[in-house]
Amino acid sequence: MAKVPMPVFPKFDDNITGFSYWEACGVNLVNSATVYHKFGFNDAVSAAFETIWDEGGLYAYPPAASANSMMLVSGSATDTAAGSGAQMVKIFGLNNSWDTVIQTKATNGTAPVMLDNFERVFRITVESVGVGKINAGAIYVGVGSATGKPTTVYGLVGSGFNQSNMSILPVPRNCTGYLLDINVYTSISKQIVSRMMASFNRGPLRTQLTMPMIANPITHPAVPPIAYPEFTDLELQAKASGGGGEIGGEFTMVVIVNSS
């Protein structure tokens, strides 16, 4: 398993003391480190495991062949560059070399807007809005032509949220991800089972941790942090006894560029 790279700090102000390495990462004091707070929500988890994300169901990862064919589209005609809803959207992901890609696009309502090279999508944010202040319809990123929604969805912003809710994160090429914590919440008094899953080099998802609960939230600090190599996909899943459970989940990961 990869080791934590040696911390490289810029010069501290003499009045700043007491930062741990991971706290310093969180306040941008470590070179080549990016902190991701990944959170997701599923408003109706079934009795079978589902990914904690806006769309519900198990998340299906894009194959490499789809890396150049994704599109952005809204379920509402008012999400346009001059409309009252979402006007500009930013997509965060990886290309088919697994390097980070961030792209900003103007919306075009229910008509698709083609994107550049994406093989993974892990966050979508609404960057500007009209008088409505929110995205009027769900905003999707995916493949396959269909008015208002792609045939296969790889990321979305629920109507009115202005940001995706996807407890999913890939580790880019030439990087190591360090998992710091996992938190799961629910609004119902049912037996909930949540689990952290990981896929290595596009392989099958493997269970990393299983966490049962009833009503009370779960907080699981990873001490020491758990290292995941490049080309890893991480996601949170959950299920509820009898189905119908609202589940929120989040985890924190520090992604550090590997030293040469």
pLDDT digits (tens, 9 = 90+) for 188-234: 788 899 999 999 999 999 999 999 988 778 888 888 899 999 999 99
| pLDDT at position 73 | 97
Q: Does 162 reside within a domain?
A: no
In a shared domain, residues 177 and 230: yes
- Among 157, 191, 220, give the residue marking a domain's end: 157
Q: Does 7 reside within a domain?
A: no
In a shared domain, residues 145 and 86: yes
Q: Does 147 reside within a domain?
A: yes
In a shared domain, residues 47 and 81: no
In a shared domain, residues 99 and 217: no
Task: Select from 177, 23, 160, 159 the least CA-distant residue to 168.
Answer: 177
In a shared domain, residues 68 and 153: yes
- Among 135, 157, 179, give the residue marking a domain's end: 157
In a shared domain, residues 87 and 138: yes
Q: Does 180 reside within a domain?
A: yes
Q: What distance lies between CA 151 and its chain's CA centroid?
A: 20
In a shared domain, residues 144 and 78: yes
Q: How many domains does the chain have?
A: 2
Q: Does 4 reside within a domain?
A: no
Q: Does 218 reside within a domain?
A: yes
In a shared domain, residues 178 and 141: no
- The parent domain of residue 86 ranges over 64-157
Write the Ramachandran bin of 107: left for phi over 0, alpha for psi from -120 to 50, otherwise beta: beta
Predicted confidence (pLDDT) per residue in 3-28, tens digit:
545 444 443 344 455 667 888 888 88
CATH code of residue 191: 2.60.120.40
* Biggest CA pair distance of the chain: 58
In a shared domain, residues 125 and 251: no
- Among 101, 127, 157, give the residue marking a domain's end: 157
| pLDDT at position 68 | 64
Q: Does the reported pTM lie above 0.85?
A: yes
In a shared domain, residues 142 and 108: yes
- Amino acid in position 5: P
In a shared domain, residues 202 and 83: no
Q: Does 9 reside within a domain?
A: no
Distance between CA atoms of residues 15 and 114, nearest Å = 49
Mean pLDDT by 10 residues, the chain (260 residues): 46 52 81 93 94 96 77 97 97 95 96 92 98 97 87 96 98 96 88 95 95 85 92 96 88 91
Q: Does 145 reside within a domain?
A: yes
| pLDDT at position 147 | 83
- Strand runs labelled E in 13-151: 33-45, 50-51, 71-74, 86-94, 100-106, 113-114, 120-129, 139-143
In a shared domain, residues 145 and 104: yes
